[in-house]
Structure 1
Amino acid sequence: ARGVVAALVVGDQNAIAADDWELFRATGVAHLMSISGLHITLFAWLAAALLARAWRCSARCCLWLPAPTAALVGGVLLALAYALLSGWGLPAQRTVAMLTVVAVLRLAGIRWPWHQIWLLALAAVVLGYPWALWQPGFWLSFVAVGVLFAASARDEGVAQGLRARALALLRTQAVVTLALTPLGVLLFGQVSLVGVVANLLAIPWVTLVVTPLALLGMCWPPLWQLAALCVQPLIALLSWLAQWPAAQWFPPAAPAWAALAAVAGGIWLILRLPWALRLMGLPLLLPALWWQPARPAPGSFTLLAADVGQGNAVLVRTHGHSLLYDTGPRHGPDSDAGRRVLVPLLHALGERLDVLMLSHGDNDHIGGAGAVLRAQPQALLRGAVDPQWPASMQRSATACVAGQRWQWDGVAFEVLHPLSIASSHDAAPNTQSCVLRIVAANGPTALLAGDIERAQEAALLAEGLPLRADWLLVPHHGSKTSSSAEWIAAVAPRHALVQAGYRNRYGHPAAPVVQRYRAQGVEVVTSAGCGAAQWTSARPRHMACERRSKPRYWQAQPIAVN
C-alpha cells in the first residue's frame, strides 16, 4: 500500500511490486495506480477551486485580475509544477499540454465544439513529441478523453437526481469500457473481464479518497498512513475479483486489419446513433475476437527461438501441441524473461503449453520458469527444478533421461541426454543438460542441445545415437568448451543458432567455435543479430529472423550513392 501512495505522490512506479502490477492489470485498474492524466487533472481542479476561493478574499486582487481567470491560470501552473514533481513523464506531459490548450481557448474567449478542442490538444502533443504516436498510452488517453467528451455531451443536463447521476456514471463507464476494449486487445493482447466492476469501485475511491489524502500528506505526513490504510481494502477487493473464473482473457494477436476493424467497431457502437445502426459495429469485432493463428500441418513442426538475451528459450509447436524448451534468465526479483517475453508471446500465439522442459538448473535456462508456470499451470514439467520452488512443484517434475520418447501429431520427440540420472546429484548442471531431438514425419530434424560440453558430446558420439539434424541449437551458447569438430560433423546442420546476449560478458559465441561451424558449411546465426528466429520443418532450408524481416527504422541500411 505504501508503494501505491508513493506512486500517486511522486510518480515512483518502481515502488509498486511486480506482483501488484499484475493484479492491477488483471483487474483493469493499472491506470489509477500512478500519476496519470486523471490525477493531474483532479489536482488542477482542486488547486483552481482553492485559488479562486482565496483570490475572492482580496478586493484588490479581484480588481487586478478576475478570480476565474486567476484560478484558471493558477490551476494550470500548479498542475505543471505537480507534473514536474512527478518526474515529467509522458502521461504528465500529455495532460499538461491538453490542460494548457483548453485554458488558452477559454482565456481567449473561444468556444469551440468538443471535437475541435480534442483535435487541437492531440495536435499539440504530437507536435511536441511526434514519437507519442508509437506509444499505447497516447492512444488510450485520447480515445478515452474523446469518448468521455462524447458521453458528457450526450448526457449534459440529464443527470439531476442521485439515481440519475448513478445511472450516468454506469453508462459512462460502460461506454468507455466498450470503446477501449478493442484498443486494449490491439495494444496489450488482454482484456480484464472484471474491469468494469473494478473500475466502478476503484475510480471514485482512488480519485476522491486515496489521491487527495496522498497529496495532502505532503503538508501533514500522517495522512500518508491514512492513505495507505485506505489502499489496503481496495487491494483486498481487487484480489478477490482477480480470482473470479475467467477474470482475464488473452485472445491471440490478430493481424492489423482485424485489430483496426475491431477498434472501429468499438467506436461505432458508442456513437450517438439509433441502436439498429449501432449494432452494425458488432460484425467488425468478430475477426479479432475469434482469430486463431495458423498452426503447423500434421506431421510437421515449427521452432520459435525467442530473443531473451543471454539464455535459451525455444518454443516447439506441432499441429495440436506445444513444448517450451528453457525459459531464459532471471534478472532480479521483479524481472525475468518469462514474465517479460515468454508469457506475452504465448498469449499472443494463443498457446496452451503441454510440456515445459528445462534443460538444466542454471539461471539463464530456468530463470523465467516460475512466471511461465504461473501463467500455464497445466504444463507438465520435465528436466531441472529450482530448489526455491514449492516442494509440490518440485515433486511434479519428471527428470530427463536418454530413451524417453513420445509422438505428437506425427512428430517424434526423443531425449538423447543425460545418458543416466545416477550421478545427477554430483555432476555439474551443464553435464546433465537435457538434449532433445525432434523429427518431422517427412524427415527434417531439429536438435536442442542445452549446455552440454565436449565430454558429453563425445559420450553421445560413442553411444552411436542419431544426431543428424537440419537445425541445431548450439550447445552452451557457442562456448569454447563445446562444439567439437567431430560433433559438428556428426550433426551436420544446415542452420546453427546461438542464443546469447549482445556483447555478453562470457564472449559467446567464441570466434573459434563460429569458425569451426562455418568451415563445415554451416550457417551460424546469433540471436543478438537475428532477434527472434523462426524455422519450420516444412521449409527446412529457410530460417527467418525477426530483426531482418521487420527492422526498426533506425536499423535501415544506408542507400549507396554512385
Structure 2
Amino acid sequence: MGALWRRLALRWPKALLALPTPWAAGLGGVALATAYALFSGWGVPAQRTVLMLAVVVGLRLSVRQWPWPHVWLLAMAVVLLLDPWALMQAGFWLSFVAVGILFATDPGRRSPAPEGSWPQRAARAFLALLREQGVVTVALAPLTLLLFGQFSVVGLVADLAAIPWVTLLVTPLALLGVFAPPLWDGAAWAVQALSLALQWLAQWPGAALFRPVAPWPLALAAVLGGVLLVLRLPWVVRLSGLMLLWPALLYAPPRPAPGQFELIALDVGQGSAVLLRTAGHSLLYDTGPRYGPQPDAADAGDRVVLPLLRALGERLDTVVVSHSDSDHSGGAPSVQAAQPQARWLSSYDSDAARRCVAGQRWRWDGVDFEVLHPQPDDYDETGHGRLSSNAMSCVLLVSNGAQSAWLGGDIDAAREVRLALARPEQRATVMLAPHHGSQTSSSPVLLNTLRPSLVMVQSGYRNRFNHPAPVVLERYAQRGIPWVNSPGCGAATWRSAEPDRVVCQREVGRRYWHHPGKQENDQSNDHNH
C-alpha cells in the first residue's frame, strides 16, 4: 500500500501533505485486511488478524511500541467483547495460542536475512516457514489432543503445502474473481486439487494419533508442557515439558472392576447403540443409524460411536448387530473400518461363524454374555432369517451373577412372550426397551418376568413413530419401573457396581443455556442422576 501511495504522489505531490505514506500504508493495510476478513466470513482467526494488525498500526502511527503480550491480550479482549461465545470455539484457542507461540519464540527476527540470489532467498523463506510450522505443530499438539482427542501426524506436511497454495493461488484468484468472475472457477479448481492432496495425506497409515481424553488437570499440564518445549529457554527447562506431557499421553480412563460391567446407551437419535465394558473387554451392541437414504450419508458409527471409543481408548472385542434395519446397522461400515479386529455377530449374516444364535456364550473378566435369540431353526438353509427383520433381532443377556442387563433390539411381543415362558426365572436389573419403546413390544409378560429395576429407551427427539409409546410408559408406571429416554437423558451410563443409579450426560454436562423440555421433565420419575 505504501508503494502504491508513493507512486500516486509522484503525480499528485499534494497527496503526501494530506496523508503521509506511513499513514496511507497502515490504514490501507488495515482496510485491505478487513475487506478480506469480511470476504472470508469474519471467523475468529480473521478477527484476530484484523484486530492485531489494527493495534500494531495504531501504536506505530502514534510512535508507540507495546510488548507483544499486551497486543496479544488486547486483541483477545476485543474479540471476546465482540463475540463472548468465541470462548466456546476450538478455533479461538488454537488461533490465539498459535499466534502467542509465534510471538514468544520470535522465529526469524533475531537478525536480518542476508541478500542473495532468488533460489537462496526462496530456500531461506522455506526454512523459516518450516521452523514456524514446526514450532506451532509441537506447541499445539497437546491442545489439539485436549480439544479433539486426536492429533494429526501429517499436519506439518499438510500445512507446508496448504499455506503457500492458499496464500499465493487460492486467495488471489478468489479476490480477483470479484472483478473477473471466471477466475472463481480457477479458485475452485485450486481448492479441489488441494482437497484431493489433503485426502491423500489423511489416508496415510498413522496419519492421526488418537488418545483418550485426559482430565482437565492433566490436559492443562500437557498444554503447558508443549509450550515449554518450543520456548527460547535452556534445554534443561524445555525438556522438562516432557514430564508435563507424559501423564496425559499415558492416561487411561478407569474401567469396571473384575466381576463388574458398565453399560452406556449412546444418544444416536432414532436408533440404537450400546457400549458394554468389563475390566478388560468391550462389546458394542448395534452401531446406530445412517442419517440419510444415500449409501454415502453420514452415520452414527462415524459421528457418535467412534468418537466415544477413542475418548475412552476402547478397542472392541465383539460387535453384535441385532438386525439389518438401518437404525441399528447404519453405522456398521464405519465401525468395522475403524475396528477391524472385532468379532462380528448379527442376525442377517449368512456366514455361520458370524451368525448370532441362541446358546452362544462367553465369559469376560467374571461377566457372562449369552445370546437368547434367534433360535437355530429361525434361519433357513441359506443362512437367512425365516422371520421378519425385527423378529430376528439378536437378544443378549449380560450378567455377573448379582446384576444383569437385557438387550432385545426390535424384538416383537410374540418373541418376548416365548423367551419369557422359556425362562420364567430370568430377571434383569436393567432392560433396553425393545423397539425403542414401541407399542408392539415391552409386553406385560416380559415385564412381569424380567421385573427390571430400570428401563433405558433409545429414541429420537420428537420422532415420527411417537416412541416411546404412551401405552408402554403406562405399563412401566403401573409396575413402578423408572425409565430414561435419550432426548432427555442424553447418553445414559449404568454400572453394575451401582445398580440403583443411572448417570445422564445431559445432567452431568449441562450448560446454563440448556433448558429442560417437557419430555425431560416427564422422565424425572424416581431415577437417580
TM bin (shorter chain): 0.7 to 0.9
Question: In the alignment, what sits opposite 1:44?
Answer: none
Q: How far 1:484 sits from its partner (Å)?
A: 1.4
Tell me the alpha carbon deviations over residues 319-344 of structure 1, each in whole angstroms, 9 at most, x when there is no partner: 22111111222223453222221111
Contact in 2 for aligned 1:301/1:317 (Cα 8 Å): yes
Which residues of 2 match residues 306-317 of structure 1 at below 5 A?
Answer: 306-317=266-277
Matched residue type, 2:445: E
- Could you say what secondary structure the match of 2:80 adopts? helix
Question: In the alignment, what sits opposite 1:527?
Answer: 486
- Report which of the two structures shows the higher radius of gyration computed on alpha carbons: 2
- The 1:53/1:353 distance shift into structure 2, 3 A limit, reads farther
**Alpha-carbon distance in 1 for matches of 2:470, 2:150:** 43
- Could you say what secondary structure the match of 1:331 adopts? coil
Tell me the alpha carbon deviations over residues 135-183 of structure 1, each in whole angstroms, 9 at most, x when there is no partner: 2110000001111222336633254363544433322222111110010
Residues 1:363 and 2:317 aligned together: no
- Could you say what secondary structure the match of 2:390 adopts? helix
Question: In the alignment, what sits opposite 2:415?
Answer: 456
Residues 1:486 and 2:445 aligned together: yes
- The 1:183/1:397 distance shift into structure 2, 3 A limit, reads farther
Q: How far 1:200 sits from its partner (Å)?
A: 2.2
Tell me the alpha carbon deviations over residues 297-338 of structure 1, each in whole angstroms, 9 at most, x when there is no partner: 222211111111211111011122111111222223453222
Which residues of 2 match residues 57-456 of structure 1 at below 5 A?
Answer: 58-59=11-12, 60-152=14-106, 155-160=109-114, 162=121, 163-231=123-191, 234-235=194-195, 237-332=197-292, 333-383=296-346, 398-419=354-375, 420-422=377-379, 424-425=384-385, 427-440=387-400, 442-456=401-415
Contact in 1 for aligned 2:107/2:132 (Cα 8 Å): no
Q: How far 1:284 sits from its partner (Å)?
A: 0.4
Tell me the alpha carbon deviations over residues 6-57 of structure 1, each in whole angstroms, 9 at most, x when there is no partner: xxxxxxxxxxxxxxxxxxxxxxxxxxxxxxxxxxxxxxxxxx4786477446
- Could you say what secondary structure the match of 2:214 adopts? coil
Choose the corresponding residue for 2:455, options 471, 496, 501: 496
Tell me the alpha carbon deviations over residues 450-473 of structure 1, each in whole angstroms, 9 at most, x when there is no partner: 111211112212333764110100
**Alpha-carbon distance in 2 for matches of 1:290, 1:362:** 39
Question: In the alignment, what sits opposite 2:436?
Answer: 477
- Could you say what secondary structure the match of 1:429 adopts? coil
Question: In the alignment, what sits opposite 2:117?
Answer: none
**Alpha-carbon distance in 2 for matches of 1:335, 1:82:** 33
Paired residues in the alignment total: 502
- The 1:231/1:547 distance shift into structure 2, 3 A limit, reads closer
Contact in 2 for aligned 1:51/1:70 (Cα 8 Å): no
Contact in 2 for aligned 1:158/1:164 (Cα 8 Å): no
After TM superposition, the structure 1 stretch with the greater mean CA deviation from structure 2, 414-423 or 79-88, is: 79-88
**Alpha-carbon distance in 1 for matches of 2:468, 2:353:** 31
Contact in 2 for aligned 1:467/1:490 (Cα 8 Å): yes
**Alpha-carbon distance in 2 for matches of 1:53, 1:514:** 79
- Could you say what secondary structure the match of 1:412 adopts? strand
Normalising to structure 1: TM-score of the pair? 0.83
**Which protein, 1 or 2, shows the higher relative CO under an 8 Å CA cutoff with sep ≥ 6?**
1
Q: How far 1:214 sits from its partner (Å)?
A: 3.6
- Unmatched segments (≥5 aa) in structure 1: 1-47, 386-392, 558-562
Matched residue type, 2:33: A
Matched residue type, 1:548: E
**Alpha-carbon distance in 1 for matches of 2:158, 2:369:** 45
- Could you say what secondary structure the match of 2:483 adopts? strand
Q: How far 1:93 sits from its partner (Å)?
A: 3.7
Residues 1:548 and 2:511 aligned together: no
After TM superposition, the structure 1 stretch with the greater mean CA deviation from structure 2, 289-298 or 376-385, is: 376-385
**Alpha-carbon distance in 1 for matches of 2:143, 2:394:** 42
Normalising to structure 2: TM-score of the pair? 0.87
TM-align CA RMSD: 2.6
Contact in 1 for aligned 2:404/2:429 (Cα 8 Å): yes
Contact in 1 for aligned 2:263/2:277 (Cα 8 Å): yes
Matched residue type, 1:354: D
- Could you say what secondary structure the match of 1:299 adopts? coil
Contact in 2 for aligned 1:55/1:62 (Cα 8 Å): no
- The 1:171/1:91 distance shift into structure 2, 3 A limit, reads closer
